[in-house]
């Protein structure tokens, strides 16, 4: 088949590796969204995961696969925040040194959190790609092991464990709304769900401001996009011009990728807070935002993945109070 992919067996193996290291998060019905859609709508409360996002699934699985020599040398990653947090936490549990590289666009609260979790921090450049260059240097000069945020089979399989849980909790699921940036979450969830329930649709959702995966799918190959500020800051960053796994998997397994405006993302955050009593970050709000915008048609139960909660609380307050939330670029 040429295309490199991740199988259901690898995802089931990942589940054995991460059990006890991550939380099995609940899937709950949303009465308000169910009424709006005239269908059962469920929320996968993955923002309650340890470290505040699903990224702990992939990071824990990747660490479980390291040799003792690799653990001795340490791990490194470029991260817009949540992957760095997850890797720092997972590595500290194993007693492994972590150096996290990130661009200046990453919000200060995320940088501080990662430092508190025990990682060393390097701030480099204005883009994910600049941060990645520093990671490459640490790998070639100091022998650290890179744990990438999405384009890696162990990461994809780890994120895919969430797909197993969704099918267990909502066996007749018709449509799953999954936030997409680099596509590790979407690829893993889609690989698990399409293997267990081929008729289920997987709809990716991202922000209009710099959606690299959607631009790449439109171009037929990975392309660069300009990074810009978004409420969904965890969805920023490219997919890598040398993408090996997630581009092809997302292309082959997802049914569509929708893009939301900043106001539609803000509406998702506000709805989660006012109606569901959940504090979520912009990236996690795109599924709810897409439903509220009227962009989702389904023939049966819908599951929206709430992927993280690591939002600056001052910004969250501005959003839910309806104040101006845009940041200066
Ligand atoms: C990383 C992240 C995403 C996007 O995941 P990808 O695997 O890069 O597509 C979505 N939501 C949150 C909260 C994240 O941290």
Q: Does residue 325 fall inside a structural domain?
A: no
Out of 100-104, 180-184, 231-235, give the one with best mean pLDDT. 180-184
d(CA 128, CA 321): 31
- Quick one: pLDDT at residue 1? 47
Please state whether beta strands 120-123 and 145-146 pair in parallel, antiparallel, or not at all (unpaired). unpaired
CA dihedral of residues 314, 230, 149, 247 (deg, nearest 10): 160
d(CA 158, CA 149): 11
Residue 106 pLDDT level (bands cut at 50, 70, 90): confident
Q: Does residue 166 fall inside a structural domain?
A: yes
Distance (angstroms) between ligand 1 centre and the Cα of 55 equals 7
The one-character DSSP state at 235 is G
- Residue of 30, 44, 53, 55 marked active site: 55
- Quick one: pLDDT at residue 61? 98
Mutate to test the pocket of ligand 1, among 54, 203, 249, 282 (most ligand atoms within 8 A of CB): 54
Residue 3 pLDDT level (bands cut at 50, 70, 90): low
53: which strand partners?
308
Neighbours of 20 (CB within 10 A): 7
- Quick one: pLDDT at residue 131? 87
Q: Which token pair is 166?
A: 């969704």
- Residue of 30, 60, 230, 307 marked active site: 307
Q: Residue 142 is inside which H or E element, if any? A: helix 128-142
Distance (angstroms) between ligand 1 centre and the Cα of 246 equals 13
Query: Can 55 be counted among the known catalytic residues?
Result: yes
Closest ligand 1 atom number to CA of residue 281: 13
Of the residues 104, 124, 146, the one at which a domain ends: 146
The DSSP code sequence of 257-300 is EEEE-HHHHHHHHHHHHHTT-----GGGGHHHHHHHTT----SS
Distance (angstroms) between ligand 1 centre and the Cα of 185 equals 7
Percent of the chain with pLDDT over 70: 98
Contact partners, residue 257, CB within 8 Å, separation at least 6: 180, 203, 204, 205, 206, 211, 213, 214, 217, 250
What is the mean predicted confidence (pLDDT) over 285-296? 97
Pocket, ligand 1, Cβ cutoff 6 A: 53, 55, 82, 150, 179-186, 234-235, 281, 283-284, 307-308
Of the residues 96, 122, 146, the one at which a domain ends: 146
Closest ligand 1 atom number to CA of residue 155: 7
Give whole-number Cα distances, 25 to 14, 18, 50, 255, in Å. 16, 13, 10, 25
Nearest CA to ligand 1 atom 13: 308
Query: For the ranges 22-36, 72-86, 115-129, 314-328, which has the lowest average pLDDT?
Result: 314-328
Distance (angstroms) between ligand 1 centre and the Cα of 270 equals 20
Distance (angstroms) between ligand 1 centre and the Cα of 141 equals 29
Of the residues 146, 178, 201, the one at which a domain ends: 146
What is the mean predicted confidence (pLDDT) over 10-31? 98
- Quick one: pLDDT at residue 236? 87
Report which of 307, 202, 205 is spatially closest to residue 249, judged by C-alpha positions. 202
Q: Residue 139 is inside which H or E element, if any? A: helix 128-142
Q: Does residue 284 fall inside a structural domain?
A: yes
Mutate to test the pocket of ligand 1, among 53, 106, 210 (most ligand atoms within 8 A of CB): 53
pLDDT score of 252 more than 60: yes
Mutate to test the pocket of ligand 1, among 46, 55, 191 (most ligand atoms within 8 A of CB): 55
pLDDT score of 110 more than 80: no
Q: Yes or no: say if 182 and 241 are a contact pair by the CB < 8 Å rule.
A: no
Considering the domain architecture, whether residues 42 and 158 belong to the same structural domain is answered as yes
Nearest CA to ligand 1 atom 7: 184
Mutate to test the pocket of ligand 1, among 81, 82, 258 (most ligand atoms within 8 A of CB): 82
Distance (angstroms) between ligand 1 centre and the Cα of 94 equals 24
Query: Can 194 be counted among the known catalytic residues?
Result: no
Considering the domain architecture, whether residues 158 and 248 belong to the same structural domain is answered as yes
| 25-51 pLDDT per residue, tens | 999 999 999 999 999 999 999 999 999
d(CA 163, CA 161): 5
Strand segments, DSSP code E, in 53-208 are: 75-78, 98-102, 120-123, 145-146, 175-179, 201-207
| Residue whose pair of structure tokens reads 């939002």 in the numeric block | 311
Q: Yes or no: say if 56 and 91 are a contact pair by the CB < 8 Å rule.
A: no
- Quick one: pLDDT at residue 66? 95
Neighbours of 299 (CB within 10 A): 10
Neighbours of 110 (CB within 10 A): 23
Q: Does residue 326 fall inside a structural domain?
A: no
| Residue whose pair of structure tokens reads 């490199």 in the numeric block | 4
pLDDT score of 228 more than 50: yes
| 172-221 pLDDT per residue, tens | 999 999 999 999 999 999 999 999 999 999 999 999 988 999 999 999 99
Range of the domain at 185: 8-53+152-320
Q: Yes or no: say if 55 and 113 are a contact pair by the CB < 8 Å rule.
A: no
Distance (angstroms) between ligand 1 centre and the Cα of 307 equals 7
HSE (side-chain half, CA atoms, 13 Å) at 228: 13
Q: What are φ and ψ of residue 308, in 5° steps?
A: -170, 165
Nearest CA to ligand 1 atom 1: 234
Residue 2 pLDDT level (bands cut at 50, 70, 90): low
Considering the domain architecture, whether residues 314 and 202 belong to the same structural domain is answered as yes
Considering the domain architecture, whether residues 166 and 23 belong to the same structural domain is answered as yes
Residue 80 pLDDT level (bands cut at 50, 70, 90): low
Neighbours of 295 (CB within 10 A): 16
Closest ligand 1 atom number to CA of residue 308: 13
Considering the domain architecture, whether residues 70 and 210 belong to the same structural domain is answered as no
- Quick one: pLDDT at residue 328? 44
Considering the domain architecture, whether residues 66 and 116 belong to the same structural domain is answered as yes
Residue 329 pLDDT level (bands cut at 50, 70, 90): very low
Please state whether beta strands 75-78 and 145-146 pair in parallel, antiparallel, or not at all (unpaired). parallel
Q: Does residue 226 fall inside a structural domain?
A: yes
Neighbours of 156 (CB within 10 A): 32
Q: How many domains does the chain have?
A: 2
């Amino acid at each position: 088949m040429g295309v490199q992919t991740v199988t259901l067996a690898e995802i089931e193996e990942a589940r054995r590796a991460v059990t006890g290291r991550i939380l099995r998060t609940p899937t709950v019905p949303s009465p308000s969204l169910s009424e709006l859609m005239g269908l059962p709508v469920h929320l996968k409360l993955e923002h309650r995961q340890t470290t505040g996002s699903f990224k702990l699934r992939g990071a824990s699985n990747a660490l479980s696969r390291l040799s003792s020599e690799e653990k001795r040398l340490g791990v490194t990653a470029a991260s817009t925040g949540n992957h760095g947090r997850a890797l720092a936490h997972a590595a500290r549990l194993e007693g492994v040194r972590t150096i996290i590289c990130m661009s200046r666009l990453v919000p200060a609260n995320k940088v501080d959190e990662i430092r508190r979790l025990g990682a060393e921090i390097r701030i480099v450049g204005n883009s994910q790609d600049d941060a990645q260059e520093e990671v490459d240097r640490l790998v070639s000069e100091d022998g650290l092991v890179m744990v990438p945020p999405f384009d890696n089979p162990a990461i994809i399989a780890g994120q895919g464990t969430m797909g197993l849980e969704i099918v267990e909790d909502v066996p007749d699921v018709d449509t799953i709304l999954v936030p997409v940036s680099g596509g590790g979450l979407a690829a893993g969830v889609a690989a698990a769900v399409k293997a267990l329930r081929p008729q289920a649709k997987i709809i990716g959702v991202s922000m209009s401001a710099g959606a690299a995966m959607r631009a790449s799918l439109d171009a037929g190959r990975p392309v660069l996009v300009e990074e810009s500020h978004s409420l969904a800051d965890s969805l920023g960053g490219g997919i890598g011009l040398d993408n090996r796994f997630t581009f092809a998997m997302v292309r082959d397994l997802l049914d569509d990728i929708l893009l939301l405006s900043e106001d539609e993302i803000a509406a998702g955050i506000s709805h989660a807070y006012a109606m569901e009593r959940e504090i979520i970050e912009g990236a996690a709000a795109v599924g709810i935002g897409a439903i509220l915008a009227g962009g989702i048609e389904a023939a049966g139960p819908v599951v929206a993945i709430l992927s993280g909660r690591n939002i600056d609380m001052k910004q969250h307050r501005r959003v839910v109070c309806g104040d101006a939330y845009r940041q200066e670029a």
